[in-house]
Amino acid sequence: MSDTTTTAPALALEARNPSELDVTGNYRKATVDKAFAAQLKAHAASPDAPLVPLGGAGGELVRCGNHTAVPVLTRPDGSERVAFGFRRVVNCQAAGVPVLVYVAGEDGDDAAVRRARKIDQFTENHWRQQPTMAEDAALIMTLFDDEGMSAAAIGRATGVGKKAAEAYRTVARSELASKAAEKWDFLTLDHLEVLAEFDGDPAGLADLVRAAKDNPRQFDHVAARLRCTRAEREARATFAAELEAQGVAIYGEQSWVPWTLALENLRDSDGNEITPETHATCPGRAATITYEWGWAPGAEAAYRAAHGLADDDDLSDVEFGSDEEAREAGFVRAWQVGRHLCTDPDQYGHANIHGKAEETPTREQRTAGDEDAAAARATEERRRVRRRNTEWRAATEVRTSHLKALLARKAPPAGALKLIVEAMARGETQPLMASFGHQTACELLGLTGNGAAADYRELLLAELARASERRAQVIALAMVLGAAEHGVRDVHTWQSAEGRYRPAYGPPASARYLAWLAEHADYSLSDIEAEVAAHVTGRGGPAGETEPDPDEDEQGQDGAAADAD
Q: What is the pLDDT of residues 422-481, one digit of tens each?
A: 877 776 654 344 456 788 888 899 988 776 767 888 888 888 888 888 898 899 899 889
pLDDT higher than threshold 60 for residue 541: no
With contact defined as beta carbons under 8 Å apart, do 285 and 248 qualify? yes
- Same domain flag for 399 and 488: yes
Last residue of a domain, one of 72, 94, 126: 126
Answer with the residue of higher pLDDT: 435 or 333: 333
Q: 22 and 96: one domain?
A: yes
How do residues 7-42 score in pLDDT, each as one tens digit?
555 678 999 999 999 988 777 788 899 889 998 998
Contacts 24+ apart (CB under 8 A), 499-507: 501/556, 501/557, 502/546, 502/548, 502/549, 502/552, 502/554, 502/556, 503/556, 504/554, 504/555, 504/556, 505/428, 505/432, 506/545, 506/546, 507/532, 507/536, 507/539, 507/546
Q: Is the pLDDT of residue 559 over 50?
A: no
Do 514 and 412 share a domain, yes or no?
Answer: yes
Residue type, 61: L
Highest-pLDDT range among 113-127, 384-398, 448-462, 498-512 = 384-398
Rounded distance, CA 556 to CA 354, Å?
41
| pLDDT for the residue numbered 435 | 54
What is the three-class DSSP state of 261?
coil
Residue 64 binned pLDDT confidence (cut-offs 50, 70, 90): very high
Q: Tell me, what's the pLDDT at 419? A: 85
Q: Do the domain assignments include residue 237?
A: no
pLDDT at 295 over 60: yes
Write the pLDDT tens digit of every residue in 177-206.
Answer: 999 999 998 999 999 999 999 988 888 999
Which one of 15-19, 294-298, 484-488 scores highest in mean pLDDT? 15-19
Per the domain annotation, does 105 fall within a domain?
Answer: yes
Contact of 320 with 558, CB cutoff 8 Å: no
Q: Are residues 531 and 402 in the same domain?
A: yes
Q: Is the pLDDT of residue 340 over 70?
A: yes
Same domain assignment for residues 404 and 493 = yes
Total of domains in the chain: 4
Percent of the chain with pLDDT over 90: 33
Say yes or no: 206 and 306 in one domain.
no
Which domain covers residue 440, as residue numbers? 387-536
Q: Tell me, what's the pLDDT at 359?
A: 64
Quote the mean pLDDT of the chain. Answer: 83
Q: Are residues 174 and 252 in the same domain?
A: no
Domain assignment present for residue 280? The answer is: yes
Q: How confident is the model at residue 507 (pLDDT cuts 50, 70, 90)?
A: low
Please state, in angstroms and rounded to a whole number, the distance separating the CA atoms of residues 319 and 329: 11
CB 342 within 8 A of CB 286: yes
Q: Report which listed range, 321-325, 343-347, 486-490, 546-550, is most confident.
A: 343-347
Residue by residue, what is the 3-state secondary structure of 297-355? CCHHHHHHHHCCCCCCCCCCCCCCCCHHHHHHCCEEEEEEEEEEEECCCCCCCCEECCC
Whether residues 209 and 317 share a domain: the answer is no
- pLDDT score at 329: 86
For 235-274, what is each residue's pLDDT tens digit? 888 999 999 999 999 987 666 788 889 898 899 988 899 9
Of 40-54, 141-155, 497-511, 543-557, the one with minimum mean pLDDT is 543-557
Residue-level pLDDT at 44: 93
From 175, 197, 230, give the residue that closes a domain: 230
Could you list the beta-strand ranges (E) of 351-392. 351-352
Mean pLDDT of 531-542: 57
Q: Based on the fold, state whether residues 520 and 425 are members of the same structural domain.
A: yes
pTM, to two decimals: 0.66
Among 357, 379, 400, the domain boundary falls at 357
What are the tens digits of pLDDT across the range 89-102?
999 999 999 999 99
Q: Which of 280-284, 420-424, 537-541 has the lowest mean pLDDT?
A: 537-541
Same domain flag for 29 and 120: yes
